[in-house]
Structure 1
Amino acid sequence: MPVISPIPSGILAEVDINQFKSHKELAKYGGLAWTEHQSGKFTANRTRLIRSGNRYLKYYLIEAANSVRVHDPVFAEYYAKKKAEPKEFAEKRALALTARKLVRLVFYLLKTNRLYEPEGVTRQRA
């Protein structure tokens, strides 16, 4: 018997999709936005994730991104591309960016009330 992950139900429990107008708002609510340090024409290159937001949703999204990058080739390719970029904290940064990509997908699926169908996979109808 397959083990069902509590992550999707955790995301659904933390999100009322009607509160959000865009995936950016949902990402910020989930703590997947970066701080901005600037003054005049200077903009800092090194920033961190915001500390505000729903910490449970952030946990669920990061865990879901880690799981989906293993099982979905599109997310795996995106993660590998971001991890290969020459930045500090490459793995954590790549995982956070993959979670941000997942937020866009989750927002779209919840707003349109659709199921996720990965590319190249045909689903059998019963």
Structure 2
Amino acid sequence: MKAIILILFFLTVSCSNDDGPIPGCYQEESRNRRIIHIIKEATGTMLGQQCGDGSFLLDPDSENQSGPLGQFYPCNLLEEFQVDGVRVVFSGYLYESFDTEDICADLFEITEIRLADQ
């Protein structure tokens, strides 16, 4: 019995998440988009009524914290941050896009967001 408990203990302790972060957005249509970059503690401005569908985009201040298209289209933006011109600090996952897509901003999943100090 001790041997079984010991084996279970070592199996449990040895499990890890070596595959990196687990995507939570943009996994529809069996496309299974990969996370291509992790953004941490970037500052930016919310832009309202963008892309022709009334969605909000994140416009990062720094080019080295942005994606190929420059702005982020967040899949999980909380309603309290859907204010045009509000300054935020955010972290999240930048997803790959495909050449055949017509998108106006880089696909992005927010992992943390807060109002920036004014």
TM-score when normalising by structure 2: 0.25
Please state which structure has a larger fraction of its residues in strand: 2
